[in-house]
Chains A and B, each alone.
Chain A
Amino acid sequence: MEVVNARSALLSNYEVLSLLQELEADHLARTRTAVRIKKEEEAAGHTSTIIPGEKHPSNVEVIHNLRTVEVEAIQHLTAPHQSTVRQSAEGITGLTRALNQYELTKAEKLQIVNLAPTRLVELFVIVDDLAARFTDEKQEEILAAVEASLGAVPISVDPDAGEDDVAMDASNPSAWDSVDGMVNAADEFDDKGEGAGVEGDLDVDDD
């Protein structure tokens, strides 16, 4: 192993979060595909080629250290005190454009994007020597630009909903398959339950 460049670029929290959520969606899609293949094979009367705890030849194995860091980092970055939950790719692009007109360093811009300060005291911590470098109006302008870039505060944080969106967006065809598979599986299950109930009701009516 050789380190070519330990710090070639800086990443914002939002970028890292979307990358991790993509990985998470891939992982879910893969697990679903595996479950679907197993079910299909069992339905066809074969003994399954998938041995529990072992990888399928068409799949990469589950990487446990990656899963750990992925899940913990997603938890941290989507916590209610983080601004990432209110951010969007368009909002951040708009914000960085708006910040270009002020003489801010790269590090200060990155932190404004990451922490999204909406109070003066928060901006004061991020930007060195704030009062001397910017007039009161400019400071208010920066805060307004940050506020404009943020979406509404999500009322209830539903991690599953977010992941499903990503899974649907993923260009990976297996994601589509697996989602369909899940839907079908759910339908089958529901049919059984409802069907039994309806029949029961009909029986009662007939009597």
Chain B
Amino acid sequence: MFNLAILKDTVGVHPSNFGIAPDTALIAELNKKYANRILHDVGLCMCVFDLTQVGEGKVRYGDGILYYKVVFRLVAFRPFRSEVILAKVKSSAEDVIRLSIGFFDDIYVPTIYLPHPSAFDPNERAFFWLPEAAEEEGHVELLDSDKDTRMYIDTGEIVRVRVESDEFFDDEPGPPQVTEGIQVKKEPRRSPYRIVCSMVEQGLGNTSWWENSQALEDDAAMEEG
């Protein structure tokens, strides 16, 4: 889930922080700038791991700020493709399940990555999986199935998912658009980083599905063998 990224930056230390040890002040400055931010192609920054190289502080004309050239290591959240992670179901919509891991919640499981056959139950606002249903059954019949055989993916449940892909979006805010003197409302911005996950395989999905499931384990082993 977590990586170490090496970054280079120039950091200014304000005179009010001259009383603090320079490394502490620099780490605080860097954390202020990077913590809980998404860096394009790096991931979600957690905190500074350590400083690798710090140049000499220089004061430039104009402000009393001491500027340092710093090379540092940063802890970033960016699961690699095919990594298995545990997450909590945040919400379900007709086309997607949204997962959360507390500090990050742009994790999505689209319908194509749900265990087959599964369907969305609009009454429960949750997806369910019918492990016993035959492959050729359609969605209409799935919704007619017996409620006891359905395995729901309810909000708040812990699921095990595999990371399929991740995307970064760097949308520019752009100038405000005005048509005939009226400001046009902009469409909501995409989240800058999103992860798409899958629950298709054996062992993925609700963690409770796979507890005490020796028979399924054997099946899985047989399938592979």
Contacts and interface: CB of A to CB of B under 8 A. Distances in A.
A133 B31 CA distance: 44
B4 A11 contact: yes
DSSP majority for the B interface?
Answer: mixed
Interface stretch (B108-116, B119-127, B209-217): B209-217
Given A1-B8, A3-B41, A65-B32, A132 B84 contact: no
Interface string A45-66: 0000000000101111101011
A7 B76 CA distance: 9
B103 A69 contact: yes
Q: Report the interface size class on chain B.
A: 35 or more
B86 to A, nearest CB: 6
A28 interface: no
A5 B8 CA distance: 10
- Counting contact residues on chain A (CB < 8 A from B), the size range is 35 or more
A168 interface: no
A65 B35 CA distance: 6
Nearest to A7: B3
A5 B102 contact: no
A141 to B, nearest CB: 16
Interface stretch (A12-20, A89-97, A153-161): A12-20
A81 B103 CA distance: 16
Interface stretch (B19-27, B128-136, B172-180, B185-193): B19-27
A189 interface: no
Nearest to B86: A81
Q: Report, nearest first, the 4 A-B pairs whose CB atoms are least far apart.
A: A76-B102, A131-B224, A66-B35, A125-B203
